[in-house]
Amino acid sequence: MRSSNVYCSLSLSLSIALVFSQHAAASTIAYAAEFLPGGVNYVRTNFVDPPQTIGNIMLTLAGAFAADDYEHQYWIDEALGGLHRANVSTGLSTFIGNVDLQGNLVRGMHWDPAGQRMLLTEMDESCQMTTLYRIDLTDASTVELGSTPGCIGGLAINADGQAFGVDESDASLVAIDTATGEATTVGPLNLGMAAPEGLDFDPETGSLYVFGYDAMSSSHGMFLVDTESGNATLVHPYITNLLAISLAPAPETIFTDGFDATTCPAGRIETSDVAYADGTLTDVDVTYFENLWGRSSVGLDPEPFPGSSTTIGILEFAMSDYIAASAFIEPYVPEEISGLYKYSGSQAPDNPHIDFSISETCGDFSARLGECVAYDVEPDGALVGWSFVSHDIPTCVLHAGRNYFLNVRVTDPSTPSPACPGNVCAIRVSSIVVTP
């Protein structure tokens, strides 16, 4: 920050009490490509709430995790046949190589835990033959293992190495020999499903699910499949078009990167009572400017940058979770404005350590944020410095016209703290806004 700047202060107080269950996460989490009229989004879903967009992706029908790595999903784009590796936290994909399948269409991909290899299936253009391949995840090269008559969609392999697909000619479950590619009919799904959108085993329960549209019941959703009979039963109806669906273990309350799809938007601060030196406002919308920049007094509208000021917010949250306040930054901002967030210990000096981040994603504490995240900060410690241009002193560089979240969580929620009665902590975060 510039030493020539002058600081003055105002008081802004947000008081929010959020208590979440330790087991709030949905029982089924998946990563998929959401097909939309305007393009394809890379999303995370629990099949109940609307999918959360992580990033962009090319049209794909096949996706899979490898071994026990649920931080990265492999997928093959339909148009060019390229193998990619996506980071499920950031949504960013890395191109690995082109898959040479002689112009045929990839219809399924899954990790074989018994053989410790990635397998995929493709069907010819006439849909008369389906071939099983082993694919190398380092260079996208393939080895043909064998073929079977028919049009087999999807590929799912359980912990014992038993592989399954769906015969699209009659919507029946088939077992696939991973050594020869030969398919044997198990039984009908009893669904009017022309082609599955996905097929996968839940890594925690071992249950098999098929995803897609059932014309018989006019239901679009997630169906539990009996691997002995093939019969499928609707579990979660949903309306979005999801492709290349890969199931992941149900998350704990906080992911390794701090992102929990089931907590946002429930963990997002939207309105609060706000106290100023000259009065108090109730039910203030803090999703615009209030929570980041404040206003000069109760009689004035919130300003994106109210001049030299210090805004102070009190965030109360359950130790096992986090909350995120948000604010939109107007398209035109003075670039000379900068600031610093601090964790004030004046109210509760024995408060626990916290993690703090400024991100465009609710609940994001991932290391990719760089200068925009601070870990394990003790009371009275500096959190994140921000600005709109790069400085000699590293800061979190913000951009006009975007929405940001202030994310707060306790570093170690398993450690009790006398400052957190009832498992709820009162955290005071102050922002020093600086002008020349």
Q: How far apart are CA 338 and CA 396, in angstroms?
A: 10
Task: Sort residue 89 into left (φ over 0), alpha (ψ -120 to 50) or beta.
Answer: alpha
Is pTM beyond 0.85? Reply is no
pLDDT tens for 322-375 read 777 776 676 666 677 777 888 876 555 577 888 888 888 777 887 778 899 999
Chain-wide mean pLDDT for the chain?
A: 77
Dig out the tokens for 16 from the structure: 């929010």
Helix (H, G, I), strand (E, B) or coil at 118: strand
pLDDT tens for 23-34 read 223 357 899 999
The pLDDT of residue 18 = 25
Burial (Cβ within 10 Å: 0-12, 13-18, ≥19) of residue 399: exposed
The listed range with the strongest mean pLDDT (11-20, 214-223, 253-262) is 214-223
Which pLDDT band, with edges at 50, 70 and 90, does 161 fall under? Answer: very high
**DSSP conformation letters of 79-94:** TT-EEEEEETTT--EE
The pLDDT of residue 139 = 93
Q: What are the residues whose beta carbons fall under 8 Å from the beta carbon of 223, sequence distance 6 or more?
A: 189, 191, 209, 210, 211, 212, 214, 232, 233, 234, 235
Which pLDDT band, with edges at 50, 70 and 90, does 413 fall under? Answer: low
Domains of the chain plus CATH, in order, are 13-21+262-434 (no CATH), 29-248 (2.120.10.30)
Q: How far apart are CA 389 and CA 46, in angstroms?
A: 38
- Give the least confident one: 72-81, 236-245, 405-414: 405-414
Q: What is the largest CA-CA distance in the chain?
A: 79
Query: Pairing state of beta strands 198-201 and 183-188?
Result: unpaired
pLDDT tens for 397-406 read 888 777 788 8
Which residues, listed in sequence order, are joined to residue 248 by a DSSP beta bridge?
29
pLDDT reading at 194 higher than 70: yes
Which pLDDT band, with edges at 50, 70 and 90, does 320 fall under? Answer: low
Q: How far apart are CA 277 and CA 252, in angstroms?
A: 41
Question: Is-contact 227 239, C-beta < 8 A?
Answer: no
Q: How far apart are CA 256 and CA 104, in angstroms?
A: 38
pLDDT tens for 91-132 read 888 999 999 877 788 889 999 999 999 999 998 877 889 999
